[in-house]
A and B are shown apart, each in its own frame.
Chain A
Amino acid sequence: MSQERKLRVLVAKPGLDGHDRGARIIARALRDAGFEVIYTGCHQTPEQIVQTAIQEDVDLIGLSILSGAHNYSFPRIMELLKENGADDITVIGGGIFPLEDIPKLKEVGIKEIFTPGTKLEDIIKWVRENVKPRRVDAA
Chain B
Amino acid sequence: MPPEIKQEGDDSMSIVEKVLEGDVRAVARLLRDIDDQVPSTRSILQQLYPHTGKAYIIGITGPPGAGKSTLVDQMTTYYRKLGKTVAILAIDPTSPFSGGAILGDRIRMQRHFLDPGVFIRSLATRGHFGGLTKSTHDMITVLDAMGKNIIIVETVGVGQGEVEIAECAHTTLVVTVPGLGDDIQAIKAGIMEIGNIFVVNKADREGAKKTVQELRNLLEMGKKFRMETGATNGWDPPVIETQAHKGIGIDELCEAIESHREYLTTQALDELKKIMVKRALHQFSETLKDELFKEMMRRMEKKGMNIDDLAAKIADKEVDPYSLSRSLIRDELKEPESAV
Contacts and interface: CB of A to CB of B under 8 A. Distances in A.
A35 B94 CA distance: 10
Interface string A19-56: 00000000110111111111111011101100110111
Interface residues of B, number: 42
Contacts of A111: none
A111 to B, nearest CB: 15
Interface size class of A (residues with CB under 8 A): 35 or more
Contacts of B114: 45, 47-48, 51
Contact of A31 (B28, B35, B95): B95
Contacts of A31: 95, 98, 100-102
Contacts of B24: 54-55
Contacts of B102: 27-28, 31, 37, 39
7 contacts: A34-B98, A36-B100, A38-B122, A39-B103, A39-B107, A52-B106, A84-B25
Given A55-B121, A56-B121, A41 B101 contact: no
Given A54-B28, A55-B119, A137-B11, A40 B106 contact: yes
Given A27-B102, A39-B102, A136-B36, 6 more contacts: A36-B94, A36-B103, A48-B110, A56-B28, A137-B29, A138-B8
Contacts, number: 112
Contacts of A28: 102
Contacts of A52: 106, 113, 120
Nearest to B27: A55
- Describe A's contact surface by its main secondary structure: loop
A123 interface: no
A92 to B, nearest CB: 17
Nearest to A8: B32
Interface string B73-108: 000000000000000000000110111111110110
A87 to B, nearest CB: 12
B145 interface: no
A44 B110 contact: yes
Contact of A2 (B11, B37, B124): B37
A13 B100 CA distance: 21
A136 B104 CA distance: 26
**From B1, B29, B94, B113, residue with most partner A Cβ within 10 Å:** B113
Nearest to A9: B100
B234 to A, nearest CB: 39
